[in-house]
Structure 1
Amino acid sequence: MTDPSTPAPRTVGARRGRPPLSTLSRERILDAAMTVLESEGPEALTLRRLGADLGSNHTAVLRYFSGKDEILLGLAERLIAEAVDGFEPGPTWRETLTTLARRVRRACLAHPALAVLVASRVSRRDAEFRGADLVIGALLEAGFGPRESARYYRALVDVTLAMSSFEAASAVLDSADREGDRSAWGREYLAASPRKYPRLALVAPHLAQADEDDQFEFVMGLLLDAVEARSATD
């Protein structure tokens, strides 16, 4: 019979009500990393912080990931997966590419701190391969050969991620700074001296109308127009 005065054995890692070490997994580590990143920013994301939040020593995290960079690549995979999971090609190659670009932008804006960190990375995992396969499939449908499809794939992805991460970088600014940048188009630009900047003064009233949505659609339209024009000549 157990002596009631004898304390129950502690489970390794179950400190201060936190989950035991045995419950660690790649997904739980990525969940914790995303929480830290989105709530406190990239500076707070360290292996020691993850270990503390998960109720274990930071070395336990290294049983699942080789280091912080691999964790970031895992988060990059999640970002891409959010954009491509459940996606099916549209009725035309152009609609497929347009919709994919919009989904990537939406995922980046849903997780701006993450997008700023990983938009330029190559995650080399299944979701990225799935996205690549979809884009290349659309380009092959447009009539391009393998070499041209590879070049246009890189161009389309780079422009989409560049624009999306640029917008995400604005989203993580302090709200006052972000609003100052946004309002500058309709304030400082309109107030610029017409004598010193006559060409700027000519178009200044229209600059504030070109918001983020308009610019993304405009640039993607220009790029796809160029792709479509070249598909007709190849």
Structure 2
Amino acid sequence: MAKKVVPEGERRRRKPAKAGGVVLSERLYIETALRMLQEHGRDGLTVRRLGAAIGADPSSLYRYFRSTDDLLLAVGDELAGRALRGWAPTGDWRADLRELGLRVHSAYLAHPQAAILTASRVSGRSHEIAADEAILGVLRTAGLPDAEAVRVYHAFIDQALAFAALDAAALALPHTARAADEAVWQATYARLPAGTHPHIAATAPRLVARMNTSAYPTALEMLLDSAAAALNPAPGGARPSDGAGAAR
């Protein structure tokens, strides 16, 4: 029989439960889950281990979440909230979008294990909705028509989350594996001869200097350039077409 879950609004209104002197709450579970993911990865996030870490009966989780997957969605929403914390629009659309993108990327990278599991998810929770409203607000206020605003929003948020997941996966590697991957650019690519690999050989010093850092800031600027072109198309030029793609 499925566990009964208290609706989110009612959870906020009801008196917090106590277990072993600990006041239980949705926030306590989210913060504990973030810590456990950081320390033990996905396999360490079980109902039993959560209960032990909090000092509560494992079944107490179901007062607040339907399952550990529901908890993971809340964790992703928490990361979105941390990205927005303290942000306010300045009226400079490009600076505002850049700041939002870098904040999202940074918030997820602060918790790599959680980022890997949540960057591709859609929770429909309050912080995620607030972030989406903020991004669309910047784009529409800048003057983009709705179809173009959605096109840029789609690319913007998927780009930020995709790079967050990619960079988080690298950070989550064991130290020895990550160091070995990073060494390949110097140990292998930098030593390829110009006779067989002229283009790699010609750019090897730059590859070594760049390839172990995130490309997100560069990709973000490219996207902002595209948005600027949509806002100010060349005389006689058409706005970019609204291509279809897979949603987040």
Q: TM-score over 0.5 for the alignment? A: yes
Is 1:208 paired with 2:197? no
Which residue is 2:243 aligned to? none
Distance (whole Å) between structure 2 residues aligned to residue 153 and residue 174 of structure 1: 34
Distance (whole Å) between structure 2 residues aligned to residue 228 and residue 186 of structure 1: 37
Counting only pairs closer than 5 Å after superposition, residues 16-165 of structure 1 correspond to structure 2 as: 19=21, 23-165=23-165
Distance (whole Å) between structure 2 residues aligned to residue 158 and residue 101 of structure 1: 10
Which residue is 2:9 aligned to? none
Distance (whole Å) between structure 2 residues aligned to residue 176 and residue 213 of structure 1: 17
Shift of 1:85: 1.5
Which residue is 2:199 aligned to? 199
Shift of 1:183: 2.4
Distance (whole Å) between structure 1 residues aligned to residue 225 and residue 106 of structure 2: 22
- Which structure has the larger Rg over C-alpha atoms? 1
Q: Partner letter of residue 87 of structure 2?
A: F
Distance (whole Å) between structure 2 residues aligned to residue 142 and residue 111 of structure 1: 32
Distance 1:189 1:211, change over 3 A: closer
Q: Secondary structure at the match of 1:62?
A: helix
Q: Partner letter of residue 91 of structure 1?
A: G
Shift of 1:197: 1.7
Shift of 1:210: 1.6
Distance 1:187 1:212, change over 3 A: closer
Percent identity over the alignment?
A: 32
Shift of 1:213: 5.4
Q: Partner letter of residue 108 of structure 2?
A: C
Distance (whole Å) between structure 2 residues aligned to residue 52 and residue 90 of structure 1: 45
Question: Is the 8 Å Cα contact of residues 190 and 208 (structure 2) preserved in structure 1?
Answer: no
Which residue is 2:15 aligned to? none
Runs of 5+ consecutive residues of structure 1 not aligned to the other structure: 1-11
Q: Secondary structure at the match of 2:107?
A: helix
Greater shift, 92-101 or 183-192, is seen at 183-192
How well do the aligned residues superpose, as a CA RMSD in angstroms?
1.7
CA-to-partner distance for each residue in 1:19-70, whole Å, 9 max, x for gaps? 45xx221111112211211111111101111122222332221121100111
Which residue is 1:185 aligned to? 185
Question: Is the 8 Å Cα contact of residues 194 and 201 (structure 1) preserved in structure 2?
Answer: yes
Distance 1:163 1:79, change over 3 A: same
Distance (whole Å) between structure 2 residues aligned to residue 126 and residue 142 of structure 1: 24
Shift of 1:151: 1.7
Question: Is the 8 Å Cα contact of residues 47 and 68 (structure 1) preserved in structure 2?
Answer: yes
The runs of 4+ residues in structure 1 deviating greater than 6 Å are none
Distance 1:212 1:82, change over 3 A: farther
Q: Secondary structure at the match of 1:98?
A: helix
Shift of 1:211: 4.9
Distance 1:33 1:214, change over 3 A: closer
Question: Is the 8 Å Cα contact of residues 119 and 165 (structure 1) preserved in structure 2?
Answer: yes
Shift of 1:194: 2.5
> How does the TM-score come out when normalised to structure 1?
0.86
Q: Partner letter of residue 59 of structure 1?
A: S
